[in-house]
Chains A and B, each alone.
Chain A
């Protein structure tokens, strides 16, 4: 492997102070399940690795207070599966975590690492995007909050500055008649990179028929990065849920997708699957809320 130096801070502030004064190519390593294979394939060649895996006291937690859920960046995917917080309206978090990698990966892979990897293969990004998640980015000098949908600026590209570490993912607990659901298609059930994954956070009005808001996130929309299907969301807003509405929404979704083909599947097939998933997700959420299915 090409990395030359490994720095192992004992707490977060020490890590941040170290990163303030680096001019080399610094990479932050948590569990390494994504970083190490990429280094071996020489897709990236950092000269300094900052190992934050032991900073669990600062960065590994799942908290819920005042209507906001906060997840520390070093929270593992296995931790998500153990939290009762994701048993009901937020069950899509567990749906995604259940089929994330395989047990050996889930035991160590972190929420923060998945987000910072910023590729269409990262199963958790659409989930948190559909929840309008915010990211807390910290450096020795400042702390700032960036919406996840603005954080991902391209394939494997994020808004993270070289001196910053992603510390926390946070989002509001769904209120009112809300539910979330997630679908993923790969060539097999486990340990597979998604061809399509799609997350929906649906909220209905008090009549349990009319859409108050819909948040739809996909692993790919028009580029090879996760994004929200905003035109489909706008279309659904204020509509009464029916077969007709869903069929129209599927057409809107197809019109805002421009998916390319690769060895995992063709663009046309991905588009078809994304449309089928939209219907399935709307039906599943609506049924859970008590609305039409």
Chain B
């Protein structure tokens, strides 16, 4: 079957790619555009390890067709490495030992970054809701919650 040409904006760069009609966003991001922070876990929307931002909204890239993202803005962790909020969040994850096996860490960072934009001082309940769609297989949630709380604070205030 013929491939369809779509324009995917990933981390601010336009990528004209040709995809099969039913190719998922996660596969295009990982296999064509080398965004390896995007992990594949359950592929059914239960683990959230593939979380990316599409037009600024956190979504599971395993549950989205690449063709449905034609002309839309996709942001992965790779695109936020120089972002001050993300740098602070990563530092907080390291300081608080939030990564055990590390498999969920990129998705946790995306969810944490998304929360930090909206809530500079989130309650623990807000943090739990923000990361509720992401499964930490090591179950190290308390370190992650501590990291997000600290990482959301700006400039040591």
Q: Which residues of A contact B (CB under 8 A)?
A: 1, 3-6, 8, 29, 31-33, 36-37, 39-41, 49, 51, 53-54, 78, 101-105, 107-108, 189-191
Neighbouring B residues of A32 by C-beta, 8 Å: 63-65, 68
CB of B44 within 8 A of CB of A40, answer: yes
Neighbouring A residues of B44 by C-beta, 8 Å: 37, 40-41
Q: A6-B4, A36-B24, A191-B133 are in contact. Are A105 and B67 (CB under 8 A)?
A: no
Neighbouring A residues of B57 by C-beta, 8 Å: 78, 107-108
Neighbouring B residues of A78 by C-beta, 8 Å: 57
Q: A4-B1, A5-B21, A49-B22 are in contact. Are A103 and B58 (CB under 8 A)?
A: yes
State the main secondary structure of chain A at its contact with B: loop
CB closest residue in chain B, given A106: B133
CB of A191 within 8 A of CB of B59, answer: no
Which residues of B, 51-88, contact A by the 8 Å Cβ criterion? 51, 57-60, 62-65, 67-68, 70
CB of B67 within 8 A of CB of A103, answer: no
CB distance from A171 to the nearest CB of B (A): 27
CB of A36 within 8 A of CB of B59, answer: no
In the A-B complex, the 6 residue pairs with the smallest Cβ-Cβ separation, listed nearest first, are A102-B133, A6-B21, A190-B132, A37-B44, A107-B57, A1-B22
| Other 18 A-B pairs with CB < 8 A, given A5-B21, A103-B58, A108-B64 | A4-B22, A6-B4, A6-B22, A6-B65, A8-B67, A8-B70, A32-B63, A33-B45, A37-B45, A41-B44, A102-B48, A102-B132, A103-B130, A103-B132, A104-B59, A104-B133, A105-B60, A190-B133
Query: Could you mark each residue 107-133 of chain B with 1 if its beta carbon is under 8 Å from any beta carbon of chain A, else 0?
Result: 000010010000000000000011011
Contact with A31, one of B21, B64, B129, B130 (Cβ below 8 angstroms): B64
CB closest residue in chain B, given A191: B133
B interface residue count range (under 10 / 10 to 19 / 20 to 34 / 35 or more)? 20 to 34
B35 within 8 A of A: no
CB distance from B17 to the nearest CB of A (A): 15
Neighbouring B residues of A8 by C-beta, 8 Å: 67, 70
CB distance from A25 to the nearest CB of B (A): 14
CB of A101 within 8 A of CB of B133, answer: yes
Neighbouring B residues of A49 by C-beta, 8 Å: 21-22
Neighbouring B residues of A6 by C-beta, 8 Å: 4, 21-22, 65, 67
CB closest residue in chain A, given B44: A37
Q: A102-B48, A108-B57, A191-B132 are in contact. Are A3 and B22 (CB under 8 A)?
A: yes
How far apart sit A108 and B68, CA to CA, in the bound complex (Å)? 12
CB of A51 within 8 A of CB of B68, answer: yes
17 A-B pairs within 8 Å (CB atoms) are namely A6-B4, A6-B65, A8-B67, A31-B63, A33-B63, A36-B24, A36-B65, A37-B45, A53-B68, A54-B68, A102-B133, A103-B111, A103-B130, A104-B48, A105-B60, A107-B59, A190-B133
